[in-house]
Amino acid sequence: MRRRLRRVAGSESFGPYTLLRIERDGLETGVPGQFFMLEAPGRVLPRPMSLCLATRAELAFLIDPVGPGTRMLCTLEPGAELHLLGPLGIGFDLAVERPLLVGGGIGIAPLPFLSQRLARSGGSPPALLGFRSEWHAEAAVLVPNAEVCIEPAFVTDLLPDEPHDVLACGPEPMLEALRLLVPPAQLAWEAPMACGFGACYGCAVEIDGELKRLCVEGPVLAGAA
Amino acid sequence: MTAPEVARSLDAFVTKTITPEPRDGNPPVRIAETGAGMLNSIGLANPGRERFLAEVLPRLRELGLPLWVSVGGFSASDYAATCSLLEDVTIELNLSCPNVDEAPEGAAEIVAACRESTQLPLYAKLSPSAWNIAEHARAAESAGADGLSLVNTLRGLALGGDLRPVLGSGTGGYSGPALKPVALAAVYACANAVDLPIVGIGGVCTGLDALELIAAGASAVGLGTILFADPESPARIRGELAAETASRNLGHPLAARGLALQSSRETVV
C-alpha cells in the first residue's frame, strides 16, 4: 500500500456533515472500520477517516467540520487533488450471525459501508442511530434499515432484549455504555493521529488500564478486551 | 505503508528514547496540530531498557540500517548504565525532552558519565530553548561528545475551543515546519562554536530545507514530523536535495556545508 494522489469527485451535505466522494481509481476499500489518512490541504498533518461508502468508481468519507483540517476537507471542490494513505488499522470482524449496527453522531461514518458488506439476501442488518438534533440526524439516510433517536433519547434505550452481535461507532460515553451493556460488542474508537501507521504513538488510548495505539491495535476493539 | 517500510527508506534510523524502566508515557490526548506544526506529549513511552535490548533491538537490526539508539534517563548514572549495555549502534543522548522534567544533572555531566561507560559514538541532542546553545555545545564537546543532534522540540501549548489545554499533559513538544528557523539558528551557532559533526533536525519538509541545514553547518539531516504526514517523503526529499544541489553547481550536498557561516562568522554569538 502506498500514499496515492486522487481527485475529488464531489461532495454532499447531510446536516452538519459532508460526504466527500473521491475517485477510487484502483484504491482498495479494506474492511469496514478501517481508515484512511486524508491529506488536509494547507495543514501539517493528514486526518484519519473511516471509509463510509464504496462504489466501483468512488470512495466516500463522512466528515464533521470540527476544526481547520476537517473544514478544509469539507470545502474541497470537484477536481481538487489530495493524497490518501490506506486502508489502515483493524476493522470489524464480519463473521457475525446476528449483526446490530449502533452509531452515534459522526460515529455513523463507517456504518454505511459496514451495512453494505453485511447485507444478505434478506436485506440490510438492523441499525440503531443516535443524534444530537434533527439536523444531525439528516445523515441517518446513509444507513439502511435504521431506527433513529434524538437526544435526550439514547441508542442504549433502543437495544433489543434478544442477543445480537453489536458493531458500534460513536462518542466515548456511548461506547463505554455499550461495553457494559453488551460486553462482546465490537467498538470502533477514535483518537487524534499524526501518522496512522504506528510510528507516532499519538493515538494511544487507555482501555482497561492499558495504553493501546488505536491505529494498529484498533480502531475496532472488542468491548470485553 | 508500515513503519518498517518507512524506516528502510532512510540512511539511518533513530529509535524512540529508551529509559531504564518501562514507561506508558503521558495520558491522552497526546498530539495536537497547530497552524505550522504539531505538539506531542508522548512522554517517552518505551518498553524499558531490558525489553528493548531483548526484543526491540534485534528486530530493528533486521532493517539492515545503521541504528541510532536514543538514550534517556533521570540521572547521569541512568544514561551511563544504558550506554554501557549497547553495542554496534550510535548513541544519541536525549538531554532535552520537553515532556519530562529536566534531568537533574547538567548535560555535560551526563555526556561525561556516558563517555566513561562506552566507546560508541555519542551524539548529544540539545534543546533549542537554551539561551546560549553554543555554550552547551562547547560543554558537550569538552565532556567527550562525538557529535550534536540539533534540535529537540520546543515546549508549546495548544488550547481547544473550550480554552482548555488540548493535550492531556497540558504542554508538549512543538515540531514541524515552525521549528525550521529555530533549528537553522541552533546549527548555525553551534557549527561556529565547535568542531563536531552536527545532525540538523527541525521542520525539514523539502530538499531545500535539508540543504539549508547543511549550509548552516549540518553534515546530516534528520526527518521527524514529515514522516508522519508523508511516509514516502524520504525519496522525494532525496530527489529534491539532488536537484537543489545540481542547480547550484555544488556537485554534492555536503559541498554546501557551512556556506551560510562564511560571510558572517564574526557576528555569531
Q: Is residue B83 part of a domain?
A: yes
Considering all CA atoms of chain B, what is the largest pairwise distance in Å, rounded to the nearest integer? 53
Q: Is residue B250 part of a domain?
A: yes
Can you point out the beta strands (E) in B59-157?
67-71, 90-94, 122-125, 147-150, 154-157
Residue A26, pLDDT > 60, answer yes
Domains of chain A: 3-88 (2.40.30.10)
In contact, B127 and B186? CB cutoff 8 Å? no
Tell me the three-class secondary structure of B137-192, residue by residue: HHHHHHCCCCEEEECCCEEEECECCCCCECECCEEEEEECHHHHHHHHHHHHHHHH
Alpha-carbon gap, residue A176 to B27, rounded angstroms: 18
Query: Which pLDDT tens digit goes with each residue over A29-83?
Result: 999 999 999 999 999 999 999 999 999 999 999 999 999 999 999 999 999 999 9
Domain with residue B196: its CATH number is: 3.20.20.70
In contact, A44 and B225? CB cutoff 8 Å? yes
Q: Is residue B269 part of a domain?
A: no
Gyration radius of chain B over CA positions: 18
Could you give the ipTM of this predicted complex? 0.90
Q: Is residue B268 part of a domain?
A: no
pLDDT, mean over chain A: 94
Residue A5, pLDDT > 50, answer yes
Residue B165, pLDDT > 70, answer yes
Sort out which chain B residues have CB atoms less than 8 A from A193's CB and list them.
31
Alpha-carbon gap, residue A224 to A60, rounded angstroms: 31
Query: Which pLDDT tens digit goes with each residue over B255-267?
Result: 999 999 986 555 5
pLDDT, residue B97, reads 63
Task: Give the up-direction half-sphere exposure of residue B154: CA atoms within 13 A in the CB hemisphere.
Answer: 21
Closest CA to A72 of A42, A29, A111, A95: A42
Q: Does B127 touch chain A (CB under 8 A)?
A: no
Q: Is residue B143 part of a domain?
A: yes
Nearest-CA residue of chain B relative to A196?
B228
In the numeric block, the cell 501549548 is attached to B157
Closest CA to B203 of B182, B183, B177: B177
pLDDT, residue B102, reads 54
Helix, strand, or coil (residue A137): helix
Sort out which chain B residues have CB atoms less than 8 A from A219's CB and list them.
none
pLDDT, residue B104, reads 44
Nearest-CA residue of chain A relative to B205?
A44
Query: Which pLDDT tens digit goes with each residue over B166-221?
Result: 999 999 999 999 999 999 999 999 999 999 999 999 999 999 999 999 999 999 99
pLDDT, residue B264, reads 56
B205 to each of A37, B19, B38, B176, B260, how far by Cα in Å? 18, 29, 13, 8, 20
Alpha-carbon gap, residue B124 to A35, rounded angstroms: 38
Establish whether B97 is a catalytic residue. Answer: yes
When pLDDT is averaged across residues B5-14 and rounded to a whole number, the result is 93
Domain count, chain B: 1
Alpha-carbon gap, residue A173 to A104, rounded angstroms: 10
The boundaries of the domain holding residue B172 are 3-263
Residue B268, pLDDT > 60, answer no
Q: State the catalytic residue, choosing from B97, B114, B190, B205.
A: B97
pLDDT, mean over chain B: 93
Inter-chain contact A199–B230, Cβ cutoff 8 Å? no
In the numeric block, the cell 499524526 is attached to A194
Q: Is residue B124 part of a domain?
A: yes
Gyration radius of chain A over CA positions: 17
pLDDT, residue B269, reads 46
The minimum CA-CA distance between A204 and chain B, rounded to whole Å, is: 6
Under the banding of pLDDT at 50, 70 and 90, the label for residue A117 is very high
